[in-house]
Structure formats: C-alpha cells, structure tokens
Amino acid sequence: MYLKLDHPPVSLDAYRPYMDSDLADELASVAAELRGARVAHLNATAIGGGVAEILQSMVPLFNALGIATERIVIEPTEAEFFQVTKKIHNLLQGAEGSLSERELEIYHGNLRQVATAMRRDQLSADVWFMHDPQLLPLAGMLRQGQPCGGGGAAWLWICHIDLTRPNQSAIDSLLPMHRDYDHLIFSLQQYVPVKHVTDKPVYIAPPAIDPLAEKNNPMDEKGAWDIVSSMGIDSHRPLITQVSRFDLWKDPWGVIDAFRLARESVPGLQLALLGLTQASDDPEAGETLQSVMAHAGSDPDIHLFHDPGLIPVGNDQAVNALQMASSVLVQKSTREGFGLTVTEGMWKGKPMIGGNAGGIRIQIDDGQNGYLVSSPQECARRIVTLLQDNDLAAFIGAAGRASVRRRFLLPRLALDYLKVAREHAAQ
C-alpha cells in the first residue's frame, strides 16, 4: 500500500559552496523555527522522473537541517491505477478525452486503500507534502476520521505539472479536491488554475537540482567519452543528446526530425536519446518507445538507450557522460512542468536548446543562456549554429551554468518549501 524509503544522510556543510550567505542564513533561521516539526513527503514513485529525483535529495537535506523528515511512496494494489494517473497527467497537460466512472473509481479506490493502511499504521506528521495529481485525493481521505497528525497538521499539495492549457473537463472534475489542502504550491505563476483556486494560499516554487548528486557533478570530458564510446558512439564525430523518459510531451520524434535536418549541414552528426529510468507511474513509456524506434528506423547515427542492462554504467553516470560528451543538448518538450533535464544540462555548462513550453521558459532566456524553439526546423537551425560557433556555444553554456547556480539549486527550493510550512505553523 505504501513504502517508507531510507535515503543516505547528507551534511549541511556540503551545500555551503552552493549557497550565498543570505540564503544560508535564512535557511538556518527558518529551519530553526520549524525544529521539532515532523515532515512527510509523499509521491507516487520511488525512482524515475523529476519528483523522485528531487525528493531523494530533499528528504536528506531537510533532515540535515534538523527537521525529522520521512519519504513515503504509495504502492497501489491495482496496476491499472498508474494507467489512470498517467491519463490524468496527460489530460491535465492538455490531452483530449475524459475520465470514465470506472477510471475514477480505480483512482479513488486505490488511494482509499493507501489511506486506510496509513491510518491503520498510525502514520503521523505535522506537515504533509503531497506531490502531484496522483496523490491529490489523499488529504481528503486522511483528514476524515482519525487525522494523521492531529487537527493541527498542515497539508500541502505540490503540483509539478504543466497546467498551461489543461483539458477543461479533467481540471473541473479533479481540482475541487484542492480544498482539502491548506496550501498549494505550483512551479510557475501561470499554472495557477485561478478559476478553481480562489480561497487557498498559493505559492510558487520552481523545482531545483541537487549539486551534490552524482549526475550533477560534471564528469571530465575524457572520462565521459570513454563511457560514451563504449556505448557505441564515435568519439571522432559530434554528438547531440536529449535525456528524457520516452513520453509524448518530450517530443522525441521532433528531436529526431531536428537531428536529421541539422545533419544535412553537419555531416557525421550523431544523436543520443537516453530514457533509462522506468518510472512505475509511467506505463505508456513502452508504447512511445516502439513508435520512436520506428521513426529512427535503422539510422546508425541515432542511438536510443532504454535498457539499463545494455549500458556499461549506472543511470546517473550515463546521464552525466552523455551530457558532458555532447556539444549541444536538447529538451524539445511541447509541455513541461519544469524540466530538470534542462537544469542538469545547463549546470554542466553545455548549450541547451529547449522547447518553448512551460517551465523551460523560466529557465532559458532565449539567446542569453540557451535557446527556445517551437519547431524541428528552428531546433535544427540552433543546433547547426552552435555546432559551427564554438565561442558562442561556450558563452551560452557558461551563462546557463551561472543562471542555474543563482536560481535552481536545491537549497533555494528547500527554503521555499520550509517557508510555506512556517506559514502554517504561524497560524
């Protein structure tokens, strides 16, 4: 029904090089105000995808700040639950369709079982961070009957997805459940569904990456090429990469189209698409992969990596190596809640080309620290320019890293979350 995950501890001192003194002071003081509070972060999958990535670092950081924090992952009994929640994810990001009575029953029924198990085991916390639509009904269920943590507990819903143009019927039927929460957190102001959210405090907290994670500690390029060569990529020819789950909204087909166009001007160019992580809440990935494979055909210079068993290193090293060996990185999403892969690539000082969508827009200032594109043609033009102009690529890459350092590292996000929790403690 649910699982408690242990994450290795981290020392707060390790983050000091990545915080300016104002941030470090404020973080310490807000954490001191919350000391003694027990926090729980809940989400739908232990690994795979951006939320799991954030929580595996956020939970140890909260603990290092002196706040007792647990990580809980729901484990629904029916496999169909994740088909339904993936559909909900797609609808909220704008897909057409609607939820049937049966799908809604699978969604609510599985979460009711999770809630029952949590109550039976008397899980309790003072602050509950519930991440993403998969968990949205849980607060209402846990607050009924015996509350998990007493009447004074704070219930926060954090919505990480791109709500720019949601499917209206889906948002109309699901969003009313936000009323069971005390505070709502979105990644961007423009995602706030103002029609539905009128009487709850709303906060904006864009995600962030952990500079201490193995995947974010830039590998030297020689080491990166050693790994990438052993994955079948030619070290004498240029490489571009997109790291992403195989997902409709990440537009892997558009990346292939852009690559093919760019290769007309840069003969020998190679493309890698890395989608190793199998998030348990993403049952569509297999289908998307088949379609992308068909689109790539037998092109020897398009490398699709989806099976961890065929990679000589672990996932995090593979991400790091491909990003560091590439001359240009792409994240051509058409919807994107935030896009940690964009942050990770920019942090490595590599020029990033992102789809002009959702959270990518707040990370890339077009032409300053990366490029925003809206079509494979535009993407191809930017790839060619960056491959042909090393100085420009170095300038854009350095500007990208500097902007991530200023805005999108984990301590800033920890502060954002703790400030919301403090609001509740002050009430």
* Contact footprint for ligand UDP (CB under 6 A): 49-50, 53, 215, 243-245, 274-277, 315, 319, 338-341, 344
Task: Considering the complex, state which of residue 19 and residue 208 has its C-beta at the smaller distance from ligand UDP.
Answer: 208
Task: Considering the complex, state which of residue 113 and residue 343 has its C-beta at the smaller distance from ligand UDP.
Answer: 343
Q: How far is the CB of 167 from ligand UDP (least distance, A)?
A: 18
Q: How far is the CB of 160 from ligand UDP (least distance, A)?
A: 7
Q: How far is the CB of 419 from ligand UDP (least distance, A)?
A: 22
Task: Considering the complex, state which of residue 49 and residue 370 has its C-beta at the smaller distance from ligand UDP.
Answer: 49
Task: Considering the complex, state which of residue 311 and residue 387 has its C-beta at the smaller distance from ligand UDP.
Answer: 311
Task: Considering the complex, state which of residue 87 and residue 422 has its C-beta at the smaller distance from ligand UDP.
Answer: 87
Q: How far is the CB of 196 from ligand UDP (least distance, A)?
A: 23
Q: How far is the CB of 52 from ligand UDP (least distance, A)?
A: 8
Q: How far is the CB of 227 from ligand UDP (least distance, A)?
A: 14
Task: Considering the complex, state which of residue 64 and residue 243 has its C-beta at the smaller distance from ligand UDP.
Answer: 243
Q: Taking CB positions, which residue lies at the least distance from ligand UDP?
A: 50
For the chain, what is the HEC assignment? CEEEECCCCCCHHHHHHHCCHHHHHHHHHHHHHHCCCEEEEEECCCCCCHHHHHHHHHHHHHHHCCCEEEEEEECCCCCHHHHHHHHHHHHHCCCCCCCCHHHHHHHHHHHHHHHHHHHHCCCCCCEEEEECHHHCCHHHHHHCCCCCCCCCCEEEEEECCCCCCCCHHHHHHHHHHHHHCCEEEECCHHHCCCCCCCCCCEEECCCCECCCCHHHCCCCHHHHHHHHHHCCCCCCCCEEEEECCCCHHHCHHHHHHHHHHHHHHCCCCEEEEECCCCCCCCCCHHHHHHHHHHHHCCCCCEEEECCHHHCCCCHHHHHHHHHHHCCEEEECCCCCCCCHHHHHHHHCCCCEEEECCCCHHHHCCECCCEEEECCHHHHHHHHHHHHHCHHHHHHHHHHHHHHHHHHCEHHHHHHHHHHHHHHHHHC
